[in-house]
Amino acid sequence: MTTTYNELDTSSADVESPADRHHRLRWVILGVLALAQLMVVLDATIVNIALPHAQESLGFGNEDRQWIVTTYALAFGSLLLLGGRLSDLLGRKVTFITGLIGFAVMSAIGGAAVNFEMLVAARAGQGVFGALLAPAALSLLTTTFTDPAERGRAFGIFGAIAGGGGALGLLLGGMLTEWADWRWCLYVNLVIAAIALVGAVLFLGSHRSEHRPRLDIPGVVTVSVALFSIVYGFSNAETNGWADWATITWLVAGAALLAVFVWLQARTDHALLPLRVITDRTRAGSYLVVFIAGIGMFGIFLFLTYYMQQNLMFSPIRTGLAFLPMIGMLIVTATTSTGVLLPRFGPRWLMAGGMIVASLGMAYLTQITPTSSYATHILPALLILGVGIGASLAPAMQGAISGVSSEDAGVASATVNTMQQVGGSIGTALLSTIAASAATAYVADNAARVGNPQQLAELAAVHSYTTAFWVAAAVFAVGGVIAGLVVRSGKLPVASEEAVAMAH
């Protein structure tokens, strides 16, 4: 498929072509895309801090509380590949703007929710439109920046947002909940979306698809149900355990449907996810690194949030502020690694080294005790993690879309988001289950030795966190080994002719 910008009358030398204008405004466009990406990533965590207040306001039970978070993840994760392909077929600007408007509308409905059902429906709607928005943003970034050095800096900024947006969500959620009202954790998206929408309308260049292959409906249905089953299965495991029949059924069904999806993709001329996208070694390794980073990052946010609020007695706002040094380090490392190191050395050892450094940061966190201080036990680990995640995640996001033709840019970008989302769902369920088992075992083994029940509970909680941190450290280490073995050495391929034609 050849994609070109709409032509204007350029008979006058003073008239700037749409492609030239799009290129001239590329850094402004990066700001628009980064805002949209931030909004999507924020919503994975910003509502968490508001949940107790929302529960009190709307009167739903503890057993229903998880659905406010899970519903968003289910809709978002299961529809990302469809959203990516739609951006390829319908145009990235149209898909991006549709996703922005829809996300804002659903956020307004959620903020105005009068009951539990209305809030859950709005969160599902956010996930649906987020699945349109996120792949379109990443593919627009891919086709807007074609110069390797500039693309590196742009992906560094974008990758930093993807890595640190969850922590920013915790800070913003705490501020809005404490200073305003829980509903503003949803209403804030209206402000972000409005700014991004104005920027998209004014600055994004329009393009049209000259050829529109048929949408792979069997592939859409199969992979959407497969991803839904996998995300739901891991969410169910978090609450009901791995031995629960529903957990096993959903996970087995999801794995089987994924196998059917791959079989279908190898046998259709208009595949939803052409296998050429994922069989390239560099892209395959990059997707795995993004997936593993998703698992590990949720371990950082989830258990450190618990530890700082319940053991160190930090307020929600102070907890969010505590993550800022990691975000700062992540931004510096991500932009440096993609702008300076990646063009010279390629992605292989950056991703491998970054994963190993992140593993060391998680290992440092295993030293916490009920009386640890933030300055000596948490801050150094967060700084190390910022370096490791920044050095690995941003190059992985760039490597994941390297060398793809413009007709596959959307679905390749969607695969990045899918891997991060599914990795996050798996990480939350896996690490939560491991932590819960560790706490139970600690209580059983130490009840006689520790006579004070409150002290025992505190020690068991910290033990559960450190156990989860050890597992996350091992996950990051495995990511480093995979990157070193799978990703090809050497520099990333130059943007394809089709992508260059689209951007210029």
Q: Yes or no: say if 344 and 454 are a contact pair by the CB < 8 Å rule.
A: no
Calpha distance 50→181 (Å, rounded): 8
Instruction: Calculate the alpha carbon distances from 126 to 113, 240, 355, 438 in Å.
Output: 14, 26, 31, 35
Residue 455 has pLDDT above 90, yes or no: no
pLDDT at 503: 33
Q: What mean pLDDT, rounded, does the chain reach?
A: 84
Q: Of 24-38, 432-446, 463-477, which has the strongest mean pLDDT?
A: 463-477
Residue 495 has pLDDT above 70, yes or no: no
Q: Please check whether residues 260 and 136 belong to one and the same domain.
A: no
Average pLDDT over residues 473-488: 93
Binned at pLDDT 50, 70 and 90, residue 472 comes out as: very high
Q: Please check whether residues 351 and 434 belong to one and the same domain.
A: yes
Half-sphere exposure of 419 (CA within 13 A, CB side): 23
Asked if residue 10 is part of any domain, the answer here is no
pLDDT at 101: 96
pLDDT at 6: 47
Share of the chain above pLDDT 90, in %: 34
Average pLDDT over residues 476-497: 81
Calpha distance 34→296 (Å, rounded): 23
Binned at pLDDT 50, 70 and 90, residue 356 comes out as: very high
Q: Which residue has the higher pLDDT, 166 or 396?
A: 396
Share of the chain above pLDDT 70, in %: 91
Q: Please check whether residues 397 and 319 belong to one and the same domain.
A: yes
pLDDT at 100: 95
pLDDT at 335: 86
Asked if residue 3 is part of any domain, the answer here is no
Residue 40 has pLDDT above 90, yes or no: no
Domain end (from 226, 254, 271)? 271
Q: Please check whether residues 77 and 36 belong to one and the same domain.
A: yes
pLDDT at 1: 43
Q: Which residues contact 171 (CB under 8 A, 6 or more apart)?
A: 317, 319, 320, 321, 323, 324
Calpha distance 418→34 (Å, rounded): 18
pLDDT at 199: 92
Q: Please check whether residues 235 and 334 belong to one and the same domain.
A: no
Q: Please check whether residues 81 and 223 belong to one and the same domain.
A: no
Asked if residue 4 is part of any domain, the answer here is no
pLDDT at 496: 46
Calpha distance 204→248 (Å, rounded): 45
The helix or strand, by DSSP H or E, that contains position 61, with its residue range, turns out to be none
Task: Specify the DSSP class assigned to residue 454.
Answer: H
Domain end (from 242, 271, 300)? 271
Q: Please check whether residues 78 and 30 belong to one and the same domain.
A: yes
Domain end (from 251, 271, 291)? 271
Q: Please check whether residues 297 and 222 belong to one and the same domain.
A: no
Q: Yes or no: say if 264 and 222 are a contact pair by the CB < 8 Å rule.
A: yes
CATH assignment of the domain containing 337: 1.20.1250.20
Q: Please check whether residues 145 and 289 belong to one and the same domain.
A: yes
Residue 501 has pLDDT above 50, yes or no: no
Query: Residue 170 is which amino acid?
Result: L
Asked if residue 2 is part of any domain, the answer here is no
Two tokens, residue 79: 């529809």
Calpha distance 328→385 (Å, rounded): 11
Helix 217-240 to helix 62-90 angle (10° resolution) is: 160
Calpha distance 441→471 (Å, rounded): 16
Residue 10 has pLDDT above 50, yes or no: no
Among the listed residues 229, 348, 364, 227, the one whose alpha carbon sits nearest the alpha carbon of residue 289: 348
Instruction: Calculate the alpha carbon distances from 142 to 151, 204, 264, 322 in Å.
Output: 8, 13, 28, 33
pLDDT at 311: 87
Q: Please check whether residues 264 and 357 belong to one and the same domain.
A: no
Q: Please check whether residues 168 and 36 belong to one and the same domain.
A: yes
Average pLDDT over residues 244-252: 93
Find tokens 């145009």 and name the residue. 91
Asked if residue 5 is part of any domain, the answer here is no
Asked if residue 486 is part of any domain, the answer here is yes
Which tens digit of pLDDT belongs to each residue from 190-243?
A: 999 999 999 999 888 776 555 566 788 898 999 999 988 988 888 888 778 888
Which tens digit of pLDDT belongs to each residue from 357-373?
A: 999 999 999 999 988 99
Q: Which of 71-80, 153-162, 272-281 has the lowest mean pLDDT?
A: 153-162
Calpha distance 398→205 (Å, rounded): 22
Which tens digit of pLDDT belongs to each residue from 106-135?
A: 999 999 999 999 999 999 999 999 999 988
Q: Which residues form the domain of 263?
A: 216-271
Q: Please check whether residues 87 and 220 belong to one and the same domain.
A: no
Domains held by the chain: number: 2
Residue 375 has pLDDT above 90, yes or no: yes
SS3 of residue 5 by DSSP: strand
Q: Which residue has the higher pLDDT, 441 or 139?
A: 441
Find tokens 């498929």 and name the residue. 1
Asked if residue 1 is part of any domain, the answer here is no
Asked if residue 392 is part of any domain, the answer here is yes
pLDDT at 14: 55
pLDDT at 62: 66
